[in-house]
Each structure stands twice: as structure tokens, then as C-alpha cells.
Amino acid sequence: MKKIKKLSFLVFLASCLILASCAQAADKNTKMTLAPDFKLQDLDQNTYTLSSYKDKQAVALFFWTTWCPYCRKAMKILNTKYPELEKNGVELLAINVQESASRVESFAKREGLGFKVLLDQDAEASELFEVMGVPTYVLINKQGNIVFRDNYFPYDEYKALLSDNGG
């Protein structure tokens, strides 16, 4: 029964990714919107809010799961790119969606992740950001506005996206 539920969930996510891609293409031509606030804990049970970064630094959110092969590949890339992001004033928050803290902690230790990993165990933050599938990236400028949302990280464009939009 558990395998059927997981398979149904995977089919649902795949369908959502297709729909999300269409919706995101339409969203790219809309005005910036203020990012919703969230309150999540990291693996050490420290609490983080998105609003604490407003007017201080830009933030890249990465919504992910340990079972997603694209997410695992992205985590390795993000781990190598994180020092550059940090140097450019961008905080990376990797938000795991609905997995146990022990599973996420084991993954983070095994991969040697150098950035903050937050737990969205009830998927409230994911719902706030209308995450339709993983991986999903959301870039937020210093003013707290969403300036990019997609299923890939715009490495070549992120500096321009942030600076062009008050980042």
C-alpha cells in the first residue's frame, strides 16, 4: 500500500511539474510579488524566518527532497557554488519538503552540505510558494520580492536578476 501511495505521489508530482512549467512561463511576464514569510527549523532546531533577511540580503530558496534524482544532482552543484553565492550576498536556504529530520540529516551529513537545510515537514512553506514539484528555485531580492521562480537555478543570470530588481 505504501508503494502505491508513493507511486501515486510521484505521478502527481510529474504532472504538476508539467503544469508548473506552463504556469511559470506565463508568470515570467508578470510584476514582482512580495515573497510570503515562513518560519522553519533547521536540522539543529534553530528557527529561521524569511522576513529576517528583508532589507539585508537576497535569498535563494531551493525546495527539494532526498528521493528526487534531480534534487540530489542539484545539491552537489549548489554545494560547490554556495561560496560564490555567499560572496555575492545571496543566502541559500535548502528547504526539504515533507521528509523526516533523521532522513534529511543523514543525507546532509553524507553529502557534506555547507548551507542551511530547513525542514518543511507539513509543507506549509511549499504551499505558500506554490511549489508544484521539486526541485524548485525561488530568488528573492533584498526588498523581499520574488524575482525568479523555476525548476532550474539561473547561475548565469542570478546576479543580473538580483541587481536589476533591487537585489
Burial 40-73 (b: 16+ CB within 10 A, else e): bebbeeeebebeebbeebbbbbbbbbbebeebee
Partnered with residue 42 across adjacent β-strands are 118
Identify the CATH number of the domain in which residue 132 sits: 3.40.30.10
Provide the domain limits for residue 117.
2-164
112 backbone φψ class: left, alpha, beta (φ>0; ψ -120 to 50): left
The pLDDT tens digits for 5-36 are 444 444 333 333 333 443 444 344 446 799 99
Q: Look at residue 125 in the predicted model and tell me its pLDDT.
A: 98
What does pTM read for this prediction?
A: 0.79
The pLDDT tens digits for 146-166 are 999 999 998 877 776 666 555
Radius of gyration of the chain (CA): 15
Count of domains observed in the chain? 1
The pLDDT tens digits for 72-123 are 999 999 999 999 999 999 999 999 999 999 999 999 999 999 999 999 999 9
How far is it, in rounded angstroms, from Cα 22 to Cα 7? 23
Q: Look at residue 141 in the predicted model and tell me its pLDDT.
A: 93
